[in-house]
Amino acid sequence: MKFSQSGLYIESYVKCANCGVLIYESSAEDASRKKVHDGQTYCSQECVDWKIERDARRSKATA
Amino acid sequence: MDFVTMNILESSMVSLCKEMGIVLMKTSYSTIFNEALDFTCGLADMNGDMIAVADFCPAQIGGMPLLVKSCLKEIPIDEIEEGDVILHNDPYRGGLHTPEHTFFKPIFVDGEIMGFAVAIGHIAEVGGMAPGGFCGEATEIFQEGIRIPPVKIKKRGEDNIEVWKLLLANVRTPRTNYGDLRALIAAVDLGEKQMTQIYKKYGKQKVKDTVNDLLLYSERRMRAELEAIPDGVYTFSDKVESDGIDADRVYTIAVEVHKRGGEFIVDYHGSSPQAQGPINATLGVATSAAYNAVLHMTDPTIPRNSGCFRPIRVMAPPGTIVNVDFPAPEVGGNTETHPRIVGTILGAMAKAVPDRVMAAEGATHCNFVFGGVDAETKEFFACYDLEAVGWGGRAFADGNDGVDSINGNCRITPVEVYETRFPWRIESLAFNVDAGGAGQYRGGVGYTKQMLCLNDEIICSQMTDRHLLAPWGLNGGTEGGLGATLVQKNGVVAMASRPSAIAWRLPRMSARATSPRRRP
């Protein structure tokens, strides 16, 4: 989540593409865990792995 | 781990949370608080973890940890001072829906912040397009009432007058809202005062260590419960009838539960994209619904705190009906979509623990929200009224009759209070005796309520569900009955709830008062 320079309003909401939690730009903890995969932002490597596993599981089920 | 002290401390904190709730109930102005009890009081540690809570509203109990943690992301702990009270209702920042106002007050002991007293309450009127902020026609959050980011409504014990003025200028019933907001503050004041005494009695370090043990104890007990459930991937889906805007479109809630040892992961990927109308759930709602479902399937004696939620993880894809993106409307997500999510998870787990789940319930709060200018007092009134439904039949008993939906645990406002406070006459209120799904153990039944408008005009809005798609049965039990809303004029039905309409706005209703009414 990105705040304006003044800190008074939100410029954009950034959510993990897998679990949906807000990722705060100002949070050092969030920044250190954040990952980008296939152009999408994830809160952690764990969520990237979960997304890859889900895609594999679902494509296998539909094959 | 000192079990004796831990039990005494846990009981003391839960009793304190109950006492906070009683203060709120006794001092509030609105029937939604003093009759329906649509609020929750709890305590949190300085990380925002819930350490104790009273059994009020499950939707708010599960939402509390995310709410407090989200606030602390925006107001750093070193900027919180003794006597501050923080207010927040923003659904896009950890909140549940616009009417749900969260207050929390820091607990300082010898100048050191130890945690927070927390009160969450559903404020009956929040501005917006229709009284109460519940409007079936809403397509943006700006039509659903005032949105409050985390702000200090009190600073170092003094009212932040500018915040109060801004809040009360944006609602239809400022006098009532003022009373209700004060009641919420009274609750956190009591929590802070009494919890400070507990810290002084036992010592800061002892309480801190014992609370950590308590969270760990709850986590271990929850993991042990989950380990007893067979591992596997359990799936189920259910439909929400309509979003109130597109009456012919249904929305899917899809869940894939991964039960792995002591872990319970709920993946909502596959659910419908977010709706144009107000049935979208926030992340807080989707998370709380998963917690709620797990609490229904596990040992009720596990202390309710953030520890017992640690084994539960939620994957709620953004931009869907289970994790709405700004600025889509969301007010019905907490009342309608939450119980539907819980039911969907229970439906999935019926394959694993059939004796611990129930068939589908009414899954609506029948949100009936109304307001207008009272012909007698000339004052604007507004009310959020919820009505009861039947719960699903279970493997060992019939479903409960005439109770609030699974995430509310609220009471139904008595007819006498209703007629005293608002210009309606309740002409009949009776159980729908054959509405429960048949089976060895039948589903619970709802009721029919017939009301006569006694004011010159009342603006009404209703948001409800199960008018088209019946509650499903389990293990051969049949479906339950459907609901309906009918508006009569001069004894003739002038309007009926449309098929597939979860949310719609009733027209202005008018009638001539037929008998004098008493007001408090």
* Cross-chain residue pair B316–A17, CB shorter than 8 Å: no
Phi, psi (rounded to 5 degrees) for B474: -130, 150
Does the pLDDT at position B117 exceed 80? Answer: yes
pLDDT above 70: percentage of residues in chain B = 95
Say which of B269, B313, B318 has its CB closest to residue A15: B318
> Which pTM was predicted?
0.95
Does the pLDDT at position B87 exceed 90? Answer: yes
Q: What is the mean pLDDT of residues B43-61?
A: 94
Q: What is the mean pLDDT of residues B48-56?
A: 95
pLDDT at site B516:
38
**CA gap B73, B83 in Å, rounded:** 20
B177-224 pLDDT per residue, tens? 999 999 999 999 999 999 999 999 999 999 999 999 999 999 999 999
Strand, helix or coil for residue B513: coil
Residue B12 per-residue DSSP state: H
- Angle in degrees, CA B227, B229, B230, rounded to 5: 105
* CB atoms near residue B386 (< 10 Å): 23
Does the pLDDT at position B464 exceed 90? Answer: no
* Cross-chain residue pair B318–A50, CB shorter than 8 Å: no
In the chain, the amino acid numbered B148 is I
pLDDT at site B131:
87
Place of tokens 């993990």: A16
* Cross-chain residue pair A20–B318, CB shorter than 8 Å: yes
Residues of B with CB under 8 A from a CB of A: 70, 73, 92-94, 267, 269, 283, 286, 313-318, 323, 325-326
The residue of chain B nearest to residue A7, with distances taken between CA atoms, is B74
B322-362 pLDDT per residue, tens? 999 999 999 999 999 999 999 999 999 999 999 999 999 99
Does the pLDDT at position B28 exceed 90? Answer: yes
pLDDT at site B453:
87
- Compute the nearest-CA separation of B315 from chain A (Å): 4
**CA gap B447, B403 in Å, rounded:** 10
**CA gap B223, B448 in Å, rounded:** 42
Taking contacts as CB-CB distances below 8 angstroms, the residues of chain B near A54 are 267, 269
Q: Per mean pLDDT, which range of B29-38, B101-110, B374-383, B410-419 is the poorest?
A: B374-383
Say which of A17, A50, A54 has its CB closest to residue B318: A17
Summary mean pLDDT of chain B: 92
Choose among B324, B354, B350, B352: nearest CA to B337: B324
- Compute the nearest-CA separation of A32 from chain B (Å): 15
Q: Which residue has the higher pLDDT, B463 or B81?
A: B81
Torsion of CA A24, A27, A28, A31, to 10 degrees: 0
**CA gap B89, B141 in Å, rounded:** 12
- Is any Cβ of chain B less than 8 angstroms from the Cβ of A13? yes
Q: What is the mean pLDDT of residues B77-92?
A: 97
In the chain, the amino acid numbered A23 is I
Q: What is the DSSP string of B260-288?
A: ETTEEEEE-TTPPBPPSSTTPPPHHHHHH
Let me know if B389 is exposed, middle or buried by CB neighbors in 10 A (0-12, 13-18, 19+): buried
Taking contacts as CB-CB distances below 8 angstroms, the residues of chain B near A50 are 267, 315
Starting from the edge strand earliest in sequence, which strands make up the sheet with B263-267, in order?
B232-240, B251-260, B263-267, B312-315
Residue A55 per-residue DSSP state: H
Q: What is the DSSP string of B27-84?
A: H--SHHHHTT--EEEEEEETTS-EEEE-SS-HHHHHHHHHHHHHHHHHS-GGG--TT-
Using alpha carbons, list the distances in angstroms from residue B420 to B249, B311, B367, B379, B414: 40, 47, 20, 15, 10
Taking contacts as CB-CB distances below 8 angstroms, the residues of chain B near A18 are 315, 317
pLDDT at site B515:
39
**CA gap B437, B358 in Å, rounded:** 12
A39-53 pLDDT per residue, tens? 999 999 999 999 999
pLDDT at site B509:
55
Place of tokens 């002892």: B206
What is the helix, strand, coil percentage profile of chain B, to 5? 30, 25, 45
pLDDT at site B506:
53
Say which of B73, B317, B326 has its CB closest to residue A20: B317
Confidence of residue B136 (pLDDT cuts 50, 70, 90): confident
- Angle in degrees, CA B218, B118, B36, rounded to 5: 95
- Is any Cβ of chain B less than 8 angstroms from the Cβ of A7? no
Do B139 and B245 form a contact (C-beta atoms < 8 A)? yes
- Is any Cβ of chain B less than 8 angstroms from the Cβ of A15? yes
Phi, psi (rounded to 5 degrees) for B87: -120, 145
Q: What is the mean pLDDT of residues A26-44?
A: 96
Taking the CA of residue B228 as centre, how many other CA atoms within 13 Å lie in the half-sphere pointing to its CB? 10
Taking contacts as CB-CB distances below 8 angstroms, the residues of chain A near B314 are 19-20
**Cβ-Cβ contacts under 8 Å for B165 (sequence gap 6 or more):** none
**Cβ-Cβ contacts under 8 Å for B489 (sequence gap 6 or more):** none
Confidence of residue B458 (pLDDT cuts 50, 70, 90): confident
- Is any Cβ of chain B less than 8 angstroms from the Cβ of A24? yes
Residue B406 per-residue DSSP state: T
Show the DSSP H helices in A7-44 as ranges.
28-33
B381-431 pLDDT per residue, tens? 999 999 999 999 999 999 999 999 999 999 999 999 999 999 899 999 999
In the chain, the amino acid numbered B392 is G
pLDDT at site B512:
39
In the chain, the amino acid numbered A49 is D
* Cross-chain residue pair B286–A22, CB shorter than 8 Å: no
Q: What is the ipTM of this complex?
A: 0.97
pLDDT at site B498:
55
Does the pLDDT at position B502 exceed 80? Answer: no
pLDDT at site B497:
67
The residue of chain B nearest to residue A8, with distances taken between CA atoms, is B149
- Is any Cβ of chain B less than 8 angstroms from the Cβ of A56? no
Interface residue of A3, A8, A22, A24 to substitute, partner B, most B CBs within 10 Å = A22
Do B72 and B108 form a contact (C-beta atoms < 8 A)? no
Place of tokens 């004041």: B189
Buried residues in B336-372 as b, exposed as e (16+ CB within 10 A): bbbbbbbbbbbbbbbebbeebbbbbbbbbbbbbbbbb
B374-385 pLDDT per residue, tens? 888 888 999 999
The verdict on whether omega for the bond into residue B99 sits within 30 degrees of 0, i.e. cis, is no
Q: Which residues face B101 on adjacent strands?
A: B121
pLDDT at site B124:
95
Does the pLDDT at position A8 exceed 90? Answer: yes
Q: What is the mean pLDDT of residues B153-160?
A: 98
